Amino acid sequence: MAKSGDRARTTAAPALGALDFTLDRSSPVPLYHQLAQQLEAAIERGVLAPGNLLGNEVDLSVRLGLSRPTVRQAIQSLVDKGLLVRRRGVGTQVVHSQVKRPLELSSLYDDLEAAGQGPTTEVVRNDILPAACDVAAALGVPEGGEVTVLDRLRRTHGRPVALLRNYLPASLLDLDSTRLESTGLYRVMRSAGITLHSARQTVGARAATAGEASRLDEEEGAALLTMQRTAYDDTGRPVEYATHIYRASHYSFDFQLLVRP
Residue 122: closest CA among 166, 147, 155, 149 = 155
Give the number of other CB atoms < 10 A from CB of residue 93.
21
Q: Does 55 bind DNA (CB under 7 A)?
A: yes
For residue 186, the number of C-alpha atoms closer than 13 Å in the C-beta half-sphere is 21
Kindly state the number of chain residues that form the binding site for DNA, as judged by CB under 7 A. Answer: 26
Asked if residue 230 lies in contact with residue 238, where contact means CB atoms within 8 angstroms, the answer is yes
Asked if residue 216 lies in contact with residue 208, where contact means CB atoms within 8 angstroms, the answer is yes
Q: Contact positions toward its own copies, by CB under 8 A?
A: 1-4, 6, 8-9, 50, 69, 82, 85, 93, 95-99, 103-106, 108, 140, 171-174, 188, 191-207, 221-225, 230, 232, 234-238, 248-249, 251-260
Least CB distance from residue 157 to its own copies, whole Å?
18
Q: Which does 55 bind (CB under 5 to 8 A by kind): its own copies, DNA, none?
A: DNA
Least CB distance from residue 3 to DNA, whole Å?
18
In angstroms, the CA 14 to CA 181 distance is 50
Q: What is the DSSP letter of 51?
A: B
Least CB distance from residue 78 to DNA, whole Å?
12
Q: What is the DSSP letter of 172?
A: T
| Closer by beta carbon to its own copies, 5 or else 17 | 5
Least CB distance from residue 6 to its own copies, whole Å?
6
Instruction: Kindly list the residues in this chain that would bind DNA in the complex (CB under 7 A).
Output: 28, 30-33, 54-59, 65-70, 72-73, 86-92
